[in-house]
Amino acid sequence: MGNWQAKSKTEAHALDRNVLSPFNSRKLLKLLLSTKRKDRVSHFNRLYDLMIYELSGKDNEIMKIPINPSRKKTIIGLMKYFKIYNLSKYIKVKIRKL
Protein backbone atom coordinates (compact mmCIF):
# COMPACT_ATOMS: atom_id res chain seq x y z
CA MET A 1 0.00 0.00 0.00
CA GLY A 2 2.88 2.31 0.40
CA ASN A 3 4.08 4.78 2.95
CA TRP A 4 1.03 7.04 2.67
CA GLN A 5 -1.30 4.36 4.10
CA ALA A 6 0.91 3.80 7.14
CA LYS A 7 1.03 7.55 7.76
CA SER A 8 -2.73 7.93 7.48
CA LYS A 9 -3.30 5.05 9.91
CA THR A 10 -0.88 6.62 12.40
CA GLU A 11 -2.67 9.97 12.13
CA ALA A 12 -6.08 8.33 12.57
CA HIS A 13 -4.93 6.39 15.64
CA ALA A 14 -3.68 9.66 17.15
CA LEU A 15 -7.25 10.99 16.79
CA ASP A 16 -8.69 7.82 18.44
CA ARG A 17 -10.20 6.54 15.20
CA ASN A 18 -10.02 2.95 14.12
CA VAL A 19 -9.02 2.54 10.48
CA LEU A 20 -9.64 -0.69 8.59
CA SER A 21 -7.82 -1.24 5.37
CA PRO A 22 -9.42 -3.65 2.89
CA PHE A 23 -6.01 -4.58 1.50
CA ASN A 24 -4.91 -5.97 4.86
CA SER A 25 -8.16 -7.79 5.59
CA ARG A 26 -7.80 -11.54 5.22
CA LYS A 27 -11.57 -12.00 5.66
CA LEU A 28 -12.34 -9.58 2.84
CA LEU A 29 -9.77 -11.17 0.53
CA LYS A 30 -11.23 -14.63 1.22
CA LEU A 31 -14.72 -13.31 0.50
CA LEU A 32 -13.63 -11.67 -2.74
CA LEU A 33 -11.83 -14.80 -3.93
CA SER A 34 -14.69 -17.12 -2.91
CA THR A 35 -17.14 -15.47 -5.31
CA LYS A 36 -17.83 -17.02 -8.67
CA ARG A 37 -15.51 -16.02 -11.48
CA LYS A 38 -18.34 -14.50 -13.52
CA ASP A 39 -19.25 -12.21 -10.59
CA ARG A 40 -15.77 -10.71 -10.22
CA VAL A 41 -15.03 -9.42 -13.69
CA SER A 42 -13.26 -6.09 -13.73
CA HIS A 43 -15.90 -4.02 -15.53
CA PHE A 44 -19.10 -5.31 -13.95
CA ASN A 45 -18.36 -6.56 -10.46
CA ARG A 46 -21.58 -7.59 -8.71
CA LEU A 47 -19.87 -7.86 -5.33
CA TYR A 48 -18.78 -4.22 -5.48
CA ASP A 49 -22.30 -3.21 -6.44
CA LEU A 50 -23.67 -5.12 -3.45
CA MET A 51 -21.14 -3.49 -1.12
CA ILE A 52 -22.06 -0.01 -2.40
CA TYR A 53 -25.75 -0.81 -1.98
CA GLU A 54 -25.31 -2.00 1.60
CA LEU A 55 -23.04 0.88 2.61
CA SER A 56 -25.45 3.45 1.15
CA GLY A 57 -28.20 2.32 3.49
CA LYS A 58 -29.94 0.31 0.76
CA ASP A 59 -30.63 3.43 -1.29
CA ASN A 60 -31.78 2.51 -4.81
CA GLU A 61 -30.99 6.00 -6.10
CA ILE A 62 -27.27 5.34 -5.55
CA MET A 63 -27.39 2.31 -7.82
CA LYS A 64 -28.71 4.44 -10.72
CA ILE A 65 -25.54 6.56 -10.75
CA PRO A 66 -23.02 5.16 -13.27
CA ILE A 67 -19.70 4.11 -11.74
CA ASN A 68 -16.68 5.11 -13.82
CA PRO A 69 -18.60 5.59 -17.08
CA SER A 70 -16.54 5.25 -20.24
CA ARG A 71 -16.95 4.30 -23.86
CA LYS A 72 -15.02 1.05 -23.29
CA LYS A 73 -17.35 0.01 -20.46
CA THR A 74 -20.39 0.76 -22.62
CA ILE A 75 -19.02 -1.36 -25.48
CA ILE A 76 -18.18 -4.24 -23.15
CA GLY A 77 -21.66 -4.01 -21.63
CA LEU A 78 -23.26 -4.27 -25.05
CA MET A 79 -21.01 -7.19 -26.00
CA LYS A 80 -21.98 -8.98 -22.80
CA TYR A 81 -25.65 -8.29 -23.48
CA PHE A 82 -25.36 -9.87 -26.94
CA LYS A 83 -23.18 -12.67 -25.45
CA ILE A 84 -20.21 -12.09 -27.75
CA TYR A 85 -17.73 -10.76 -25.20
CA ASN A 86 -16.11 -14.13 -24.43
CA LEU A 87 -15.76 -14.84 -28.14
CA SER A 88 -14.02 -11.51 -28.71
CA LYS A 89 -11.62 -12.17 -25.82
CA TYR A 90 -10.83 -15.60 -27.27
CA ILE A 91 -10.12 -14.12 -30.69
CA LYS A 92 -7.88 -11.42 -29.19
CA VAL A 93 -5.83 -14.04 -27.35
CA LYS A 94 -5.46 -16.15 -30.50
CA ILE A 95 -4.36 -13.13 -32.55
CA ARG A 96 -1.70 -12.25 -29.99
CA LYS A 97 -0.24 -15.76 -30.18
CA LEU A 98 0.19 -15.60 -33.97
- pLDDT tens, residue by residue, 68-98: 778 888 898 899 889 898 898 889 888 887 6
Domain segments of the chain as ranges: 1-34, 36-67, 68-98
Q: Give dist(CA 1, CA 52) in Å, integer.
A: 22
Q: Give dist(CA 7, CA 42) in Å, integer.
A: 29
Does pTM surpass 0.85? no
Q: Which residue pairs, CB below 8 angstroms and at least 24 apart, start in 7-15?
A: none
